[in-house]
Amino acid sequence: MNARETVVEVRGLVNRFGAQTVHEGLDLDVRRGEILGVVGGSGTGKSVLMRSIVGLRRPDAGSVRLFGEDLLTLPPARRAEVERRVGVLFQDGALFSSLTVSENVCVPLLEHTALNARDAARLAALKIQLAGLPPEARDKYPSELSGGMRKRAALARALALDPDILFLDEPTAGLDPIGAAAFDQLVRTLRDALGLTVFLITHDLDTLYAICDRVAVLAHKRVLVADTLEAVQRCDDPWVRDYFHGPRGRAALAARGGERRSGPRAAPPSV
């Protein structure tokens, strides 16, 4: 992979809510084929950044280019074409509670393709299987699923249109350690098998050590550092020190024998 090839380019981003400035001159690149972990303290605007990138929020200043194009300046037809290349899993899953899992996955298929209902359902079944759900989950409603299964159902919907990039907002939040680890491995497997790029907002240190190629730290209204875990850990910032070198950070590193992989296609760490 060409390290200079980017699918997301953010320059000078400014986001304000009234008198509160969340981002001020934020720059970030997301490289093709990588899993980029995005971390930061509460209120640093991780989800706001994601929404700005995917075109759900218009920044107050700066530019965002996705696949080399600014979504907010594109004509509707072209914007729809670019948006089809994007899959999003929101923090709460954002599934339609009145629809079954299969029906939820069918929504983008019926909206953005010429598939009829029968063919959309068949393709939805494949996406549900790809997300690691059993066939019997297709006809269940979100309220009938466990937290981990709802995350996978939301992932299946995010994968419905065969995206080039996945945006995942706290995908392991609320999951038990076993379920979270299984979801991490699923994300890495999908990245490797489908050639995805993954923008992953998380607070889970185990996720960072297990699957992320680079980590971007949001602090002081900007991206403080975006680099490998080893480089990020050397950053002389109080929040970085507390986060990565506190008890939980040391435990997450020790659980992997202090080893880290490098590169988006490298072998997984020893566990």
83: which 2 tokens?
């948006």
Whether the predicted pLDDT of 96 surpasses 50: yes
Confidence of residue 216 (pLDDT cuts 50, 70, 90): very high
52: which 2 tokens?
């700005």
115-147 b/e (C-beta count within 10 Å ≥ 16 → b): eeeeebbebbbebbebbbbeeebbebebeebee
| Long-range contact pairs involving 174-179 (C-beta distance under 8 Å, separation at least 24) | 174/147, 175/147, 175/148, 175/151, 176/148, 177/206, 179/147, 179/148
Confidence of residue 174 (pLDDT cuts 50, 70, 90): confident
What pLDDT does 251 receive?
62
Task: Tell me the percentage of the chain whose pLDDT exceeds 90.
Answer: 81
Can you tell me the mean pLDDT for 77-100? 91
Beta bridge partners of 30: 8
Torsion on CA atoms 180, 39, 164, 69, rounded to nearest 10:
160
What pLDDT does 266 receive?
37
Q: What are the extents of the domains in the chain?
A: 1-85+164-265, 96-162
What pLDDT does 186 receive?
95
In this predicted model, what pLDDT tens digit does every residue of 197-207 receive, in sequence order?
999 999 999 99
What pLDDT does 249 receive?
61
Can you tell me the mean pLDDT for 132-161? 94
Torsion on CA atoms 202, 127, 181, 36, rounded to nearest 10:
-40
Whether the predicted pLDDT of 229 surpasses 80: yes
- Helices in 131-225 by DSSP H: which ranges? 147-158, 177-194, 205-211
Whether the predicted pLDDT of 269 surpasses 80: no
pTM comes to 0.88
Contact (CB, 8 A) for 22 and 48: yes
Lowest-confidence pick of 29-33, 75-79, 254-258: 254-258
Topology annotation, domain 1-85+164-265: Rossmann fold (3.40.50)
Closest-CA residue to 229 (of 23, 89, 35):
35
Whether the predicted pLDDT of 27 surpasses 60: yes
Chain mean pLDDT for the chain: 89
Contact (CB, 8 A) for 244 and 217: no
DSSP string of 105-133?
A: HHHHHHHHS---HHHHHHHHHHHHHHTT-
